[in-house]
């Protein structure tokens, strides 16, 4: 029997992700991904599976999208908006890069870039994500 792990229709869409940080000689950088289906640049995130805890879903989604091993630290913030008339809530955590994997694009995420927070804010397509990065630099 195949278990349906998607959220039931009509419920609030729950998603989670992260501001993934890595340290370089040039300073701190964060991961930003490109989604070809939307042709946008965003922070790594995705929908929770049915019954999945927020933080566990954030970790799973981020590791799947950027193909790196990360650790979750503190809560970074949240946002809410509508998708096709259905409310969606996205919670974000700060995450630290533990091990960088070899990124291989796919149909959901075709590019991964590591950018300074300032540069990331220029590239991110969504104001709430830009605001999240800006408010979490310190």
DSSP helix/strand/coil, 13: strand
**Residue 121 three-state SS:** helix
The pTM for the full model equals 0.90
Q: Is residue 1 part of a domain?
A: no
Do the domain assignments include residue 3?
Answer: no
Query: How high is the pLDDT of residue 11?
Result: 85
What pLDDT is stored for residue 10 in this prediction?
64
In tens, the pLDDT along 28-69 reads: 999 999 999 999 999 999 999 999 999 999 999 999 999 999
Residue 124 lies in a domain: yes
- With respect to residue 41, please indicate whether it lies within any of the assigned structural domains: yes
What's the domain range around 22? 13-135
Asked if residue 23 belongs to a domain, the reply is yes
Mean pLDDT of the chain: 92
Distance CA 117, CA 103 (A): 21
**What CATH number is given to the structural domain containing 68?**
3.90.79.10
Residue 17 within a domain: yes
Span of 4-8, 17-21, 49-53, 80-84 with lowest mean pLDDT? 4-8
Tally of domains within the chain: 1
Q: Is the dihedral of CA 23, 28, 31, 34 positive or negative?
A: negative
Non-local (6+) Cβ contacts of 16 within 8 A are 45, 46, 48, 54, 55, 57, 58, 61, 90, 91, 92, 93
Is 5 inside any structural domain?
Answer: no
Cβ atoms 45, 92 nearer than 8 A: yes
Q: How many CB atoms lie within 10 A of CB 97?
A: 19
Predicted confidence (pLDDT) per residue in 76-133, tens digit: 999 999 988 999 999 999 999 999 999 999 999 999 999 999 999 999 999 999 999 9
Going by C-alpha positions, the residue among 119, 57, 53, 66 that lies closest to residue 97 is 66
Judged against a pLDDT cut of 50, whether residue 1 lies above it is answered with no
């Amino acid at each position: 029997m195949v278990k349906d792990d998607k959220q039931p229709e009509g419920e609030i869409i729950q998603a989670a992700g992260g501001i993934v940080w890595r340290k370089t000689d040039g300073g701190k950088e964060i991961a930003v991904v490109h989604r070809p289906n939307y042709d946008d640049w965003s922070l790594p995130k995705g929908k929770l599976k049915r019954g999945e805890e927020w933080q566990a879903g954030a970790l799973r989604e981020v590791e799947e999208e950027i193909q790196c091993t990360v650790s979750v630290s503190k809560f970074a913030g949240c946002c809410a908006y509508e998708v096709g008339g259905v409310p969606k809530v996205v919670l974000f955590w700060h995450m630290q890069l533990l091990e960088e994997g070899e990124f291989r694009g796919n149909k959901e995420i075709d590019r991964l870039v590591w950018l300074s927070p300032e540069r990331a804010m220029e590239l991110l397509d969504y104001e709430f994500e830009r605001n999240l990065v800006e408010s979490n630099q310190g």
